[in-house]
Amino acid sequence: MFGNDEKDYFLENLAIMITSGIDVSSAITSIKQETRSKKMLKVLGGIEAEIDSGSSLWMAMERSKLLPSHAIVLIRLGEESGNLTENLKLVVTQQQKDREFASRLQSAMIYPVIV
Protein backbone atom coordinates (compact mmCIF):
# COMPACT_ATOMS: atom_id res chain seq x y z
CA MET A 1 0.00 0.00 0.00
CA PHE A 2 2.75 2.43 0.95
CA GLY A 3 6.38 2.45 0.04
CA ASN A 4 8.74 1.40 2.79
CA ASP A 5 10.74 4.56 2.25
CA GLU A 6 7.65 6.67 2.98
CA LYS A 7 6.99 4.90 6.27
CA ASP A 8 10.64 5.08 7.31
CA TYR A 9 10.82 8.76 6.38
CA PHE A 10 7.69 9.48 8.41
CA LEU A 11 8.82 7.59 11.51
CA GLU A 12 12.40 8.86 11.47
CA ASN A 13 11.33 12.47 11.07
CA LEU A 14 8.61 12.12 13.68
CA ALA A 15 11.20 10.80 16.16
CA ILE A 16 13.60 13.66 15.38
CA MET A 17 10.93 16.32 15.74
CA ILE A 18 9.58 14.91 19.00
CA THR A 19 13.13 14.75 20.37
CA SER A 20 13.58 18.41 19.53
CA GLY A 21 10.49 19.32 21.56
CA ILE A 22 7.86 19.64 18.85
CA ASP A 23 4.46 18.21 19.75
CA VAL A 24 3.19 15.22 17.75
CA SER A 25 0.45 17.09 15.90
CA SER A 26 2.78 19.87 14.76
CA ALA A 27 5.39 17.30 13.73
CA ILE A 28 2.85 15.45 11.58
CA THR A 29 1.73 18.74 10.02
CA SER A 30 5.34 19.52 9.15
CA ILE A 31 5.93 16.06 7.68
CA LYS A 32 2.75 16.40 5.61
CA GLN A 33 4.19 19.50 3.97
CA GLU A 34 7.16 17.45 2.74
CA THR A 35 5.14 14.42 1.62
CA ARG A 36 4.36 14.02 -2.07
CA SER A 37 2.39 10.77 -2.11
CA LYS A 38 -1.35 11.38 -2.16
CA LYS A 39 -2.02 8.14 -0.29
CA MET A 40 0.44 9.04 2.43
CA LEU A 41 -0.98 12.57 2.68
CA LYS A 42 -4.44 11.09 3.21
CA VAL A 43 -3.18 8.75 5.94
CA LEU A 44 -1.20 11.49 7.67
CA GLY A 45 -4.25 13.75 7.54
CA GLY A 46 -6.31 11.06 9.23
CA ILE A 47 -3.67 10.52 11.92
CA GLU A 48 -3.40 14.25 12.48
CA ALA A 49 -7.18 14.64 12.77
CA GLU A 50 -7.43 11.83 15.31
CA ILE A 51 -4.61 13.25 17.42
CA ASP A 52 -6.18 16.71 17.29
CA SER A 53 -9.45 15.20 18.51
CA GLY A 54 -7.69 13.70 21.55
CA SER A 55 -6.61 10.26 20.38
CA SER A 56 -3.19 8.91 21.27
CA LEU A 57 -0.58 8.43 18.56
CA TRP A 58 -0.64 4.64 18.78
CA MET A 59 -4.43 4.57 18.47
CA ALA A 60 -4.39 6.89 15.46
CA MET A 61 -1.63 4.83 13.81
CA GLU A 62 -3.50 1.60 14.50
CA ARG A 63 -6.63 2.95 12.80
CA SER A 64 -4.59 4.15 9.82
CA LYS A 65 -3.25 0.62 9.19
CA LEU A 66 0.07 2.22 8.27
CA LEU A 67 2.14 -0.16 10.38
CA PRO A 68 1.88 -3.80 11.47
CA SER A 69 0.49 -4.60 14.91
CA HIS A 70 3.88 -5.32 16.50
CA ALA A 71 5.05 -1.83 15.52
CA ILE A 72 1.89 -0.30 17.00
CA VAL A 73 2.60 -2.12 20.27
CA LEU A 74 6.10 -0.61 20.38
CA ILE A 75 4.69 2.87 19.76
CA ARG A 76 2.08 2.35 22.48
CA LEU A 77 4.72 1.22 24.96
CA GLY A 78 6.87 4.19 23.98
CA GLU A 79 4.05 6.63 24.63
CA GLU A 80 3.16 5.05 27.95
CA SER A 81 6.75 4.81 29.19
CA GLY A 82 8.02 8.15 27.89
CA ASN A 83 10.40 6.51 25.40
CA LEU A 84 8.47 7.30 22.24
CA THR A 85 11.41 8.58 20.21
CA GLU A 86 13.55 5.55 21.01
CA ASN A 87 10.69 3.20 20.14
CA LEU A 88 9.99 5.00 16.85
CA LYS A 89 13.64 4.54 15.89
CA LEU A 90 13.41 0.90 16.96
CA VAL A 91 10.38 0.38 14.71
CA VAL A 92 12.29 1.78 11.71
CA THR A 93 15.30 -0.42 12.45
CA GLN A 94 13.13 -3.50 12.87
CA GLN A 95 11.26 -2.87 9.62
CA GLN A 96 14.56 -2.52 7.76
CA LYS A 97 15.78 -5.80 9.27
CA ASP A 98 12.51 -7.52 8.33
CA ARG A 99 12.84 -6.36 4.72
CA GLU A 100 16.45 -7.52 4.55
CA PHE A 101 15.52 -10.91 5.99
CA ALA A 102 12.65 -11.32 3.52
CA SER A 103 14.96 -10.43 0.65
CA ARG A 104 17.58 -12.95 1.77
CA LEU A 105 14.93 -15.61 2.27
CA GLN A 106 13.58 -15.01 -1.21
CA SER A 107 17.10 -15.24 -2.67
CA ALA A 108 17.73 -18.46 -0.78
CA MET A 109 14.51 -19.97 -2.11
CA ILE A 110 15.28 -19.00 -5.70
CA TYR A 111 18.75 -20.58 -5.65
CA PRO A 112 17.50 -24.23 -5.57
CA VAL A 113 15.15 -23.51 -8.47
CA ILE A 114 18.02 -22.25 -10.60
CA VAL A 115 20.30 -25.16 -9.71
Residue 48 reports pLDDT greater than 90: yes
Asked if residues 59 and 69 have their Cβ atoms less than 8 Å apart, the reply is no
Residue 41 in this model has a pLDDT that exceeds 60 = yes
User: When comparing pLDDT for 48 and 110, which is higher?
Assistant: 48
For residue 115, name the pLDDT band (cuts at 50, 70, 90): low
- Residue 4's pLDDT is 65
pTM of the model: 0.74
Q: What is the DSSP string of 44-98?
A: HHHHHHHHHTT--HHHHHHHHT-S-HHHHHHHHHHHHHT-HHHHHHHHHHHHHHH
